A and B are shown apart, each in its own frame.
Chain A
Amino acid sequence: MTYHILHTGNSRSFPGAHALHEKAGADLNAADVIIVTGADVGKHAASLSQWKDKTAVLLELGTECLGVYAGESRGVEGSNVLGFARFRLGEGDPSNLVELVRQPRSSEAAISAATQVFEGAGLKVAVCGDFAGRIIDRLVRPYYNAALRRLDEQLASADDLDTTLRLGLGYPEGPIALLERTGLAHHFDVTQAMFDAYGETAYVPARRARVAKQSSKK
């Protein structure tokens, strides 16, 4: 399986050197898979139809849906174009997880090829549908908001909350310490985007995240 990478500016998934880059081929035309990384993948959206014979075209996503670039129609959309994002909390290092985004009728060959490419670079792949927040943000943002609210309500001290969740559930880091390390303002940005997408109160940024965001603008 050969692949070629097109860079479109700063990539949150691959901000530095990575095995994925080392194994990439130089010839776009000869590649089976095209990977578009960076914050401006949209500039290649017009090229997607030219690449329909490729096994897979993989677009790096931010908080937006794949459908923004690949299109949607009547719930039967899907092609060789998939989305991906390497999970990363705020300013923390990217994890080894790639959330691979598919549409209802996405090509199974494309999913298989994408999985092979990412796993070949030492990453793990979780396949998910094309929904805001994908898997992890859907689960952790309400949890982080709840932890911040309970801290305000003095259920326990920040240290005790973190200790309880680390010891009780085996989490490597408690939510308060983790948000402090990776950036409360970044949490605000992500959870606000999800609130905009879903309108559910669980995603409403907690007061402490809002304060951190406001402070970061000063």
Chain B
Amino acid sequence: MSEIKTVGVAGSGTMGAGIAIVAARAGYKTIVFDTRQAALDSARKQTAGFFAKSVERKKLTQDQVDKIMGDLSGTTSLADMAACDIVIEAVFESLKVKHELFSELNKVCPQTTLFASNTSTLSITEIAGGSGRDDRFVGMHFCLPAQLMKLVEMSPGIRTTDATFQRAWAFSKAMGQTPVKTKDNPGFILNYFLVPFNNDAIRLVESGVAAPADVDRAIKTGLGYPLGPLELLDMVGLDTQLLLCEALYGITHDPRAACPPLVKRMIAAGHLGRKSGQGFFNYSGNAMFGG
């Protein structure tokens, strides 16, 4: 079992950038792949802002941050992922897109490289089936915002070897995360509960029961939740919620998992959440959450 020294993250969106922070902060050389240079640039800018806040809050020193940022790089060339001991995928929730990505990664990465998917709804076994190395494939579902949340839902696929799972489990703990083993079931634990819950919150707004601010105030005050469901949806992105719904509903046919029509109207209007500056709430800034 070779030691993991270099971590690859495929995708530089909200989740990918957060996972890269976790890996780099834990001392791993971290390479982020994205086909879009602008996305890489944006993620790096937000990451620098996040670490600047970490220094302000005295969680890290400037020297530590300089070292972390030096070990964190971005690339638009998939060939650069050949240096990675593990690649964690954090791209669109599309089985086709993930199969295409892993198929290409399988060509460039050494046989010892582990593949992991941050999918939140798709089957690990099904994604692994298109990777070319389904025995060295594991689910690693980080929670949003990944740079702050410790939990990682880890799921073996049907053909995942014990050695692969144990290696990924040890890596997760070495990053300072708290792994939890879940079955390879739709939505694992978190999204099985969260996606329908958030849809129910959207439906309250859609049907005029309460305004978004009132829904969130009720949930935070009444239950002590740190975030209201609608501000959480704005963080996740309404487009992501649509994909989550399509994936979960497509498998479970649970009516609560079906995407509320309001989500599609908001997406059509460009109201995607924080990343577009407007979702259920308005956002004037673009800073990354936490520090």
Contact = CB atoms under 8 A, between A and B. Distances in A.
B11 interface: no
B218 A135 contact: yes
Nearest to A164: B189
Interface string A189-218: 000000000001110000000000000000
A142 B256 contact: yes
Interface string A124-141: 111111010011101110
Interface string B159-201: 0000000000000000000101011010001101110110011
B190 A168 contact: yes
A174 to B, nearest CB: 10
A139 B197 contact: yes
Contacts of B227: 170
Given A139-B197, A140-B223, A167 B214 contact: no
Contacts of A139: 197, 200-201, 204, 215, 219, 229
A97 interface: yes
Interface stretch (A7-15, A44-52, A153-161): A153-161
A106 interface: no
Contact of B256 (A97, A163, A172, A202): A202
B288 to A, nearest CB: 17
Given A96-B221, A139-B204, A168 B143 contact: yes
B285 interface: no
B189 A136 contact: no
B218 A99 contact: yes
Given A124-B217, A139-B201, A170 B193 contact: no
A54 interface: no
Nearest to B214: A126
A126 B190 contact: no
Interface stretch (B59-67, B92-100, B104-112, B147-155): B147-155
Contacts of A142: 196-197, 200, 256
A150 interface: yes
A136 B219 contact: yes
A150 B192 contact: yes
A87 interface: yes
Given A126-B210, A129-B210, 17 more contacts: A87-B222, A125-B217, A126-B221, A126-B222, A134-B218, A135-B210, A135-B222, A142-B197, A143-B193, A146-B192, A147-B193, A160-B180, A167-B149, A167-B151, A170-B149, A170-B225, A170-B227
Nearest to B151: A167
A139 B88 CA distance: 33
Nearest to A135: B218
Interface string A45-70: 00000000000000000000000000
A135 B209 contact: yes
A155 B183 CA distance: 7
Contacts of B201: 139
B189 A156 contact: yes
A128 B197 contact: no
Nearest to B229: A139
A128 B208 CA distance: 8
A65 B196 CA distance: 25
B193 A131 contact: no
A168 B153 contact: yes
Nearest to B200: A139
B189 A165 contact: yes
Nearest to B191: A168
A202 B218 CA distance: 21
Interface in B123-156: 143, 149-151, 153
B211 interface: yes
Interface in A79-138: 87, 95-97, 99, 124-129, 131, 134-136, 138
The 10 A-B pairs with the shortest beta carbon distances in the complex, nearest first, are: A126-B218, A167-B151, A97-B222, A87-B222, A97-B221, A170-B226, A128-B210, A126-B214, A135-B218, A172-B224
Contacts of A143: 193, 196-197
A164 B214 contact: no
Contact of B189 (A97, A99, A155): A155
A155 B185 CA distance: 8
Given A126-B215, A142-B256, A147-B193, A164 B151 contact: yes
Contact of A167 (B150, B197, B229, B256): B150
B165 to A, nearest CB: 16
A95 B221 contact: yes
B178 to A, nearest CB: 6
Which of B151, B192, B196, B229 has most chain A Cβ within 10 Å? Answer: B151
A172 B219 CA distance: 12
